[in-house]
């Protein structure tokens, strides 16, 4: 009667792909990635540790990773739904806190709103101020770049060699 042997995938990362032929003696090659430079081998479960040690001794092998799939329990009966949704609930609470913080930062009193309107600091005016600040920064950066270019030209003019010393006349 035929019995299935337990198998495990082993990923061998190589320094070059010309040594792939040598890996055939260790197990069945199921995939070769030319771009990522690795080979997927399938080995018998009882030979995995010895084979991994042998593979690590070769100079053309960077690393060897053993697949954890047989160790993972496919049935998640003992895991509760609470574990999966804790992070989601925490994120929702954080978002609600952020929204309440933003509401408290906005002027809530009528006096604050009136003073903001009188000084011209309404929502539309704030956006205009931000845009004006950005334009000023861009203009300043442009001026600095132009100043640097002019200084570079002046430095080049100073570097010219006089005609007596072999320069152009």
Per-residue pLDDT of the chain (169 residues; tens, 9 = 90+): 889 989 999 999 999 999 999 999 999 999 999 999 999 999 999 999 999 999 999 999 999 999 998 888 777 666 666 666 677 777 888 888 877 777 776 655 555 555 555 555 555 566 666 677 777 777 877 777 777 666 665 555 555 555 666 656 5
CATH superfamily membership of 7-70: ACT domain (3.30.70.260)
Closest C-alpha to 81, from 89, 69, 92, 93: 89
What is the distance, to the nearest Å, from the Cα of residue 45 to the centroid of all Cα atoms in its chain? 35
Q: In this structure, is the dihedral angle defined by the CA atoms of residues 100, 101, 106 and 109, taken in order, positive or negative? A: positive
- Give the per-residue pLDDT at 113: 55
What is this structure's pTM? 0.46
Q: Where are the domains of the chain?
A: 7-70, 120-153
Closest C-alpha to 12, from 100, 142, 25, 116: 25
The H-assigned helical ranges of 6-160 are 48-57, 81-105, 110-118, 123-158
- Give the per-residue pLDDT at 144: 74
- Give the per-residue pLDDT at 28: 94
Contact (Cβ atoms closer than 8 angstroms) between residue 5 and residue 47: no
- Give the per-residue pLDDT at 73: 74
């Amino acid at each position: 009667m035929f019995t299935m042997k337990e198998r495990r995938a082993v990923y061998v990362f190589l320094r070059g792909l010309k040594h792939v032929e040598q890996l055939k003696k260790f197990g069945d090659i199921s995939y070769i990635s030319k771009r990522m430079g690795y080979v997927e081998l399938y080995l018998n479960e009882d030979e995995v540790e010895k084979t991994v040690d042998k593979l690590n001794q070769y100079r053309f092998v960077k690393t060897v990773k053993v697949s954890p799939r047989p160790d993972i329990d496919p049935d998640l009966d003992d895991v509760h739904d609470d574990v999966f949704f804790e992070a989601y609930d925490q994120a929702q609470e954080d978002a609600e806190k952020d929204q309440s913080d933003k509401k408290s930062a906005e002027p809530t009193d009528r006096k604050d709103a009136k003073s903001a309107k009188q000084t011209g600091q309404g929502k539309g005016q704030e956006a205009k101020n931000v845009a004006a600040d950005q334009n000023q920064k861009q203009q300043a950066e442009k001026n600095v770049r132009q100043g640097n270019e002019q200084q570079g030209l002046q430095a080049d003019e100073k570097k010219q060699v006089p005609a007596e010393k072999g320069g152009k006349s």
